[in-house]
Amino acid sequence: MPKNSRQMRLTERHVGYLQPQNLTDETPPPPAGMRAATPDDYVSTIDALLGPTRSDEVWIFAYGSLIWKPACEFVEMRTGLVRGWHRAFCLGWNNRFRGSDANPGLMLALDRGGACNGVLYRLPPGRTDEAMTKLLEREMGWLPSPFPPRWVNVKSGERAIRALTFCMDRNSGRYVSGLSVEAIADVLATAVGSRGSMAEYLHATVQHLEDIGIHDPHLWQLQALVADRIEAAYEADR
């Protein structure tokens, strides 16, 4: 698929201004009211999702960082559309991985309503449990999960595919709604955590979506606003 000719305002130059002091992939202790998930938790979750008889065709629907950093191996990739859910910065507040107590971050999740174009990954046949465990270790490290895995229907070309993805639980205390696009941009332009900045997260997501031919108008607006804010903060006196 040809790369889109649109040029992002938000570039690696902007991202370079926001660097974590202690970059690490280590999982920090869970926040109050949550606990670290265990191997038994992953086994029971996989059994509940996949059932006693494992299918040779299990798909994952990616809408955010899983697009540019898949958590596990896959044997096929294709784009697809989910209806009834939309991509939104509604998972907060992150003060560990991509934020701090002073400047907490907002992560992407699927929220109810609208539609979302994303990427489908088919897991290796016969190794679905192994792949799913890696996926859950990445996306469900703490319980209860504010965006638990669930099945959604995805339209991909002429195919209708049932896929697993992660959707926001609006009853979770980590659900954030009602923010203006300007307020979200303020967060994304300042939050930095142990695994990087929200600006890096936004840049990578938009860039990879554009590279595979998916244009998200909301994220496109955000990346321009975030670039403006970073320039105002770091380049105003140049």
- Examine the residue annotation and report whether 130 is marked as an active-site residue of this protein: no
Give 167's DSSP letter.
B
The rounded distance, in Å, linking the Cα atoms of 58 and 163 is 7
The rounded distance, in Å, linking the Cα atoms of 86 and 149 is 15
The rounded distance, in Å, linking the Cα atoms of 57 and 29 is 35
Query: Among residues 76, 139, 210, 231, which one is catalytic?
Result: 139
Closest CA to 103 of 228, 204, 197, 175: 197
On whether the CB atoms of residues 96 and 163 are closer than 8 A, the answer is no
Structure tokens at 24: 């690490």
Task: Please list the active-site residues.
Answer: 139
